[in-house]
């Protein structure tokens, strides 16, 4: 192995940290996805060497929910939203996971070194399998595919919302075990969680994390990035708070905390500034402020999205270029893992 292929020697001094992250095209992106993940990708994009993926193989783990024609369209929509949110296609690698076969192939190798018990312990698996009579092997194996995504690019940092931290820690464990068994092969990544917006809760139920799957069933659960203004208004103005009449900062209810958290994340105002502004005011005022801040955040994204959506051929060309660049890097790491195990041509 030449020195530049070893993960430990992978990053010369002063080089930008390597980043990988992804979002599933399993539903409409919402404010939680934006504040928890996408926004932090955009903010730090020029200081880092980024690979951003639309993880469509992760979106097929519940076959009952798969709509093949819809999935392809959704993958394009999610990619377009990356760019609409501000990701620069010239300075970042953006692609669709299934276009780079190395992800599935490395998953098999890692399956063989990952103890099954580690996967049964994952909170996301527990909650997604709860109440189902039967679940796919893929649903359990999902975090190994995620580990492959991350490890293929010798990733240093993985910017995600709070719910993904457990999967990134598992990725480190998977890499450490492989390195221990078969020699230094993978670089160990770290999760990066934003200071605000890492866990946006549902507007209709502030005890539960805003999620794409709940939003499919409940109209007032989430604000989606492409929702029209009237729908956003209805959702935010009907947000669940509590039976108090004024905004309280001490012992605030989950609903009020969520609204304040969204304001903090969208306007940058600190909790002290928000306390000055809202202490003693009614919930109507707070909701109006949240509505205004959310509309202001989403308007430029929606406008750019419309432009991108009007030229699907250009979007496909950008994604094909992204997949080519990703494949080149992924193939090198896969080969390293194959060599460590004694397989491959
Ligand atoms: P997913 O939609 O499950 O593919 O998630 C994509 C990214 O958004 C991941 O980094 C998640 O951690 C993040 N995310 C999803 N839902 C939320 C939420 N309610 N609050 C904050 N971050 C979230
Ligand atoms: N599991 C992540 C989620 O549900 C999506 C994902 C797949 C991901 N592969 C990844 C996130 C690699 C970060 C890095 O949100």
Same domain, 113 and 170: yes
Do the beta carbons of residue 82 and residue 304 sit within 8 Å? Answer: no
Q: Does residue 187 belong to any structural domain of this protein? A: yes
Same domain (yes/no): 8, 126: yes
Smallest CA separation from ligand 1 atom 12, residue: 161
* Tens digits of residue pLDDT in 138-184: 999 999 999 999 999 999 999 999 999 999 999 999 999 999 999 99
Q: Are 5 and 170 in contact (CB under 8 A)?
A: no
- Determine the residue of 23, 156, 212 to mutate for testing ligand 2's pocket, defined as the one with the most ligand atoms within 8 A of the Cβ atom: 23
Which among 22, 1, 340 has a CA at the least distance from the CA of 177? 340
215 C-alpha to ligand 1 centroid (Å) = 13
* Token couple for 211: 């999620």
What pLDDT score does 244 carry?
Answer: 86
For the Cβ of 61 lying below 6 angstroms from any atom of ligand 2, the answer is no
The whole-number pLDDT of residue 3 equals: 39
For every residue of 20-48, DSSP letters joined together read EEEE--SS--BHHHIIIIIHHHHHTGGGS
Half-sphere exposure of 304 (CA within 13 A, CB side): 17
Q: How far is the CA of 283 from the centre of ligand 2 (A)?
A: 35
Ligand 2 atom closest to the CA of 146, numbered from 1? 9
Report yes or no on 58 lying in a domain.
yes
User: Using CA positions, which residue lies closest to atom 9 of ligand 2?
Assistant: 146
pLDDT at 31: 98
At residue 12, the pLDDT reads: 56
Does the beta carbon of 150 lie inside 6 Å of ligand 2? yes
| Position 7 confidence tier, pLDDT thresholds 50, 70, 90 | low
Could you tell me if the CB of 288 is within 6 A of ligand 1? no
Q: Residue 230 Cα, ligand 1 centroid: separation in angstroms?
A: 24
pLDDT of residue 8: 47
Task: Report yes or no on 56 lying in a domain.
Answer: yes
Q: Please write the tens of the pLDDT for every residue from 86-105.
A: 999 999 999 999 999 999 99
Per the domain annotation, does 205 fall within a domain? no
Residue 204 belongs to some domain of the structure: no
pLDDT surpassing 90 at residue 279: no
Known catalytic residues are 128, 209, 212
Write the CATH number for 122. 3.40.50.620
Same domain for 293 and 327, yes or no, is: no
Residue nearest to atom 3 of ligand 2 (CA): 23
The total number of structural domains in the chain stands at 2
Q: 152 C-alpha vs ligand 1 centroid, how far in Å?
A: 22
Nearest Cα residue to atom 13 of ligand 2: 21
Domain encompassing residue 245: 212-306
Torsion of the alpha carbons at 286, 288, 293 and 294, rounded to the nearest 10:
110
Q: What angle do CA 261, 264, 267 make, to 5 degrees?
A: 140
Task: State pTM to two decimals.
Answer: 0.94
- Note whether 117 and 153 are same-domain residues: yes
Task: Tell me which ligand sits closest to the C-alpha of residue 81.
Answer: 1
């Amino acid at each position: 192995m030449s020195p530049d292929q070893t993960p430990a020697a992978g990053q010369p001094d002063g080089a930008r940290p390597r980043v990988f992250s992804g979002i599933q095209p399993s539903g409409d992106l919402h404010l939680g996805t934006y504040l928890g993940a996408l926004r932090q990708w955009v903010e730090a994009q020029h200081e880092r060497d980024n690979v951003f993926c639309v993880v469509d193989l992760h979106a097929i783990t519940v076959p009952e929910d798969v709509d093949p024609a819809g999935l392809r369209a959704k993958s394009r929509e999610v990619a377009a939203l990356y760019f609409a949110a501000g990701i620069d296609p010239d300075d970042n690698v953006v692609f669709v996971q299934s276009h780079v076969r190395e992800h599935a192939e490395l998953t098999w190798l890692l399956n063989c070194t990952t103890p099954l018990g580690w996967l049964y312990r994952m909170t996301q698996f527990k909650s997604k399998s709860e109440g189902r009579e039967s679940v796919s092997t893929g649903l359990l194996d999902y975090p190994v595919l995620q580990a492959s995504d991350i490890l293929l690019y010798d990733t240093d940092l993985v910017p995600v919302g709070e719910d993904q931290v457990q999967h990134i820690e598992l990725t480190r464990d998977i890499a450490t075990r492989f390195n221990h068994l078969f020699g230094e092969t993978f670089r160990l990544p770290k999760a990066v969680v934003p200071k605000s917006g890492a866990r946006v809760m549902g507007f209709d139920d502030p005890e539960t994390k805003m999620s794409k799957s709940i939003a499919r069933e409940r109209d007032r659960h989430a604000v989606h990035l492409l929702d029209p203004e009237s729908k956003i208004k209805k959702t935010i103005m009907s947000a669940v708070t509590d039976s108090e009449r004024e905004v309280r900062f001490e012992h605030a209810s989950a609903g009020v905390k969520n609204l304040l958290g969204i304001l903090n994340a969208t306007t940058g105002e600190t909790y002290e500034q928000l306390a000055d502004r809202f202490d003693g005011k009614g919930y109507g005022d707070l909701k109006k402020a949240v509505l205004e801040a959310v509309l202001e955040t989403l308007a430029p994204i929606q406008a750019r999205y419309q432009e991108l959506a009007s030229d699907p051929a250009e979007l496909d060309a950008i994604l094909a270029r992204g997949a080519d660049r990703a494949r080149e890097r992924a193939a090198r790491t896969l080969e390293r893992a194959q060599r460590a195990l004694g397989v491959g041509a």
